[in-house]
């Protein structure tokens, strides 16, 4: 689901966006996908930092685990600091929303009603500066 609009043609009783994973769950998910990393040999700290950089978002963690296969978390953290979201892409010719975080973000932005609400882009640029975005704003 993108934004707050659920897929059509289903009588939804409850819908919410997928929350971030807890740090231990994000690490478990990463290690289940990428079994090339041996935890306990000093790589935990860099892996924890990498997962924190992903904000524990499930899609980002999944893509990160795939692109990290065969590389140390320390190397990938340095790469992340240079490339950011561009590195979170599997090597498909035309990546889709589940193979590229940039494609996923672009789709999310495309669903905004920017033409009828041009101030939405300005508000989004402000929200992006907040460390945790604007989680659960209705509360």
Cα–Cα distance, 109 to 113 (Å, whole number): 9
pLDDT tens digit sequence for 17-34: 678 899 999 999 999 998
Distance CA(107)–CA(123), nearest Å, equals 18
Q: How confident is the model at residue 138 (pLDDT cuts 50, 70, 90)?
A: very low
Q: Is the pLDDT of residue 87 over 60?
A: yes
């Amino acid at each position: 689901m993108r934004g707050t609009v659920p897929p059509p043609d289903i009588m939804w009783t409850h819908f919410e966006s997928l929350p971030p994973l807890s740090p231990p769950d994000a690490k478990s998910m990463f290690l289940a996908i990428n079994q090339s990393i041996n935890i306990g040999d000093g790589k935990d700290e860099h892996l924890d930092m990498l997962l924190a950089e992903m904000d524990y978002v499930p899609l980002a963690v999944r893509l990160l685990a795939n692109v990290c296969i065969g590389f140390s978390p320390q190397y990938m953290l340095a790469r992340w600091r240079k490339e950011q979201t561009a590195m979170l892409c599997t090597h498909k010719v035309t990546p889709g929303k589940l193979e590229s975080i940039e494609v996923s973000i672009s789709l999310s932005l495309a669903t905004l009603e920017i033409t009828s609400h041009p101030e939405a882009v300005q508000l989004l640029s402000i929200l992006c500066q907040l460390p945790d975005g604007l989680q659960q704003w209705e509360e």
